[in-house]
Structure 1
Amino acid sequence: MFEVTCVGIACADVLVKPVSDFPERGKLGLVQELTLQAGGCALNAAIDLAKLGVSTAMVGRIGSDGFGQYLLGVLQKEGVGVEGLVVDPTTPTSASVVLIDWDGERSILHLLGTNARFAFEDVNLDLVRASKILFIAGALLMPLFDGQGAARLAKIARETGVLVCMDTAWDSSGQWLRKIDGTLPYIHWFMPSYEEAKALSGHENPEDIARFFIVRGVENVVVKLGEQGCYVDSTACGASFYAPAYRLERVVDTSGAGDAFCAGFITGLLS
């Protein structure tokens, strides 16, 4: 079957750049680029994993609209397994408008769409059980799946011998830890961004953040620190350390950077 099954968010991203200021109400602002791309934590990671030579399946929910057909086509073109995708004819595909400034940093307007209807019952458990790694990506943005659904899936995967990894998204509802606390004891590798991890834990120091999640049952924590790299606290390896990032002369766009990190890390776990 597949080495990795990515479960979670898929959405269409409309990228607009550069955007430093919004035009005044009722007025027009000009930009240099406006492009449509496939996005969403799970979908991005699935494509990146496939590009790294890892056989990968995508499990999620899309609409039967133009955005949904576009996402399906991109996944198929990149060689990602799509038998785990559910097509919803009554709900628009999740989509984002990503506003990118001159430094490559993003502000995002998001329509939950089909991701809001994704639930445990949508998951192809045969795909998950036959995989080496389950990657739950976009936790906190799937209201019917976050909580009991995610915990149930992670428990099934772990009991089957599947390595369970999880990444989060920004929780605009403000519920944060309540949504994922029950899932944490089943997670082998938790890989949140620093800002999300800080909001979840209430701590600012990466070491305190990692320890917060380990106390709650996570086996290993990787806090993504952007240009600073990451901090790793691994009970499995009995080690904790900072890993610096490669230095770049210029950052063009940070869209999907965290998802690419997760894909690379998961590829390393398979090795």
Structure 2
Amino acid sequence: MNKKLDVVTFGEPMAMFYANEPGELHKALSFSKGMAGAECNVSVGLSRLGHSVGLVTKLGEDNFGHFITDTLNKENIDTSNVKFTNEYRTGMLVKSKVLTGDPVVEYFRKNSAASTISLSDFDGDYFASAKHMHVTGIFPAVSKSCHEFALHAVDFMRSQGKTVSFDPNLRPSLWPDTDTMVKAINGLAARANWVFPGISEGKLLTGHDKPEAIADFYLARGVSLVVIKLGPEGAYFKSSDGEGYVPGFKVKEVVDTVGAGDGFAVGVISGLLEQLPLQEAVRRGNAIGAINVMSPGDMDGLPDQEKLQKFMKQ
């Protein structure tokens, strides 16, 4: 029998090379290596806060694949459901360094090992060993079989009485067109308990521009909690128990915006699993999102409990 997990997630981890000096990506000469992938960021963040986490994926039998499992193992993430294949390679990306705004990211992930994940890779016992599952809208966009896997995983976890969180994490370039993306993402969101869209994602997905209306769109479809990320302003939440705005934290210097939303998800999920009041869980989400944008890489800034409490007290 598998050990009990607090959280399980699945997705595509990638090797990441991020430029060490600002400027156009093709002019960068030196890079640092890291691990990327929204689900990896959330896994690392939750593990650092003391939660037991398992990540399900498929990697190439190559140096990038082993670098990723080594990195996950160092972060105390369970990799017993990570499969290796000799037929396909591990995906990778390169990222520019910017002084303002979002970095340029170039992906090399077509026909990657993770894109071949299908229903035959689903291990019900492993998923059932977790209390909660986190899902993003990235993995279902990678391939048809990944989309089927995501739908099955969500339906399975709900049938087992587990909670499911969903972050749309929109990647329009991975979908054939906007309509397909909106339909698929909303189909997954409606199956989840907790949904965490950004305000611009919410506008695109629902056609509403006010946080209250975006929340109502998903609550009407059976979701129990909607938390909308409002950037530096903080977040808005709504559930049957109440609603409210939670202000953001001051950020001294934005180093890298990638991973802020994943940090936010870590805060809210960990807060709810630790049975914090809803408003306090959202406040924690704001705090970790703020901490994460002040560090390079996608997960370098994700705090442990001590660093988090210290930051939140300031």
Whether these two folds match at TM > 0.5 is yes
Show the counterpart of 2:291: none
Per the alignment, residue 67 of structure 1 pairs with 64
Match of 2:104 in 1: 107
Distance 1:17 1:198, change over 3 A: farther
- After TM superposition, give the deviation of residue 127 of structure 1 in Å: 1.9
Which TM-score applies when normalising by structure 1?
0.88
One-letter amino acid of the structure 2 residue matched with residue 163 of structure 1: T
Q: Whole-Å Cα distance in 2 between the matches of residues 147 and 62 of structure 1?
A: 18
Partner residue in 2 for 1:269:
272
TM-score (norm 2): 0.77
Structure-2 separation of matches of 1:230 and 1:253: 20
* CA pair 245-68 structure 1, distance change in 2 beyond 3 A: same
Cα offset for 1:14? 1.4
1:158 is paired with a residue whose SS is: helix
- Measure, in 1, the Cα distance between the counterparts of 2:198 and 2:87: 33
- 1:48, 1:59 → 2: CA distance? 16
Offset of 1:22 from its aligned partner? 5.8
Does the C-alpha gap of structure 1 residues 242 and 100 become closer, same or farther in structure 2, counting only changes over 3 Å? farther
Higher strand residue share: 1
**Structure with bigger RCO (C-alpha 8 Å, 6+ apart):** 1
Change (3 A) 1:217 1:19: farther
1:227 CA displacement: 1.7
**Conserved? CA contact 1:190–1:220, under 8 Å:** yes
The structure richer in helix per residue is 2
Q: Which amino acid counterpart does residue 269 of structure 1 have in structure 2?
A: L
Instruction: Give deviations 1:188-211, integer Å, cap 9, x for gaps.
Output: 011133333333223333222222
The 8 Å contact of residues 190 and 218 in structure 2, kept in 1 or not, is answered as no
Work out whether residues 13 and 39 of structure 2, in 8 Å CA contact, stay in contact via their aligned partners in 1.
Answer: yes
- Equivalent residue number for residue 192 of structure 2: 187
The answer on whether the counterparts of 2:25 and 2:96 sit within 8 Å (CA) in structure 1 is no
RMSD, aligned CA: 2.1
Asked if 1 retains the 8 angstrom alpha-carbon contact of 2:95 and 2:106, the reply is yes
Deviations for 1:14-47, whole angstroms, at most 9, x for unmatched residues? 1125444466xxxxx246x521111101111111
**Following the alignment from structure 1 to structure 2, what is the Cα–Cα distance between the partners of residues 90 and 146?**
17
Residue-by-residue CA offset, 1:102-150 (whole Å, 9 max, x unaligned): 1262222122323322233323221211111011133443323454432
Tell me the equivalent position of 2:163: 163
Work out which of the residue numbers 260, 263, 286 in structure 2 matches 1:260: 263
AA at the equivalent of 2:197: P
Deviation at 1:248, TM superposition (A): 1.2
Flag structure 2 segments of 5+ consecutive residues without an equivalent. 275-314
Q: 1:202 and 2:212 equivalent?
A: no
Q: 1:70 to 1:121 in 2, by over 3 A?
A: same
Q: Structure 1: which 4+ aligned runs deviate by more than 6 Å?
A: none
Q: Which amino acid aligns with 2:99?
A: W
Equivalent-residue separation in structure 2 for 1:150 and 1:257 (angstroms): 23
Report what 2:250 is aligned to.
247
* Paired residue type of 1:217: G
Paired residues of 1:18 and 1:102 also in contact (CA < 8 A)? no
The whole-number CA distance in structure 1 between the counterparts of 2:203 and 2:59 is 30
Residue segments in structure 1 that go unaligned for 5+ positions in a row: 24-28
Aligned partner (choices 10, 15, 19) of residue 13 of structure 2:
10
Whether the 8 Å contact between 2:18 and 2:33 is mirrored in structure 1 is: yes
Identity %: 27
Distance 1:106 1:158 in 2: 36
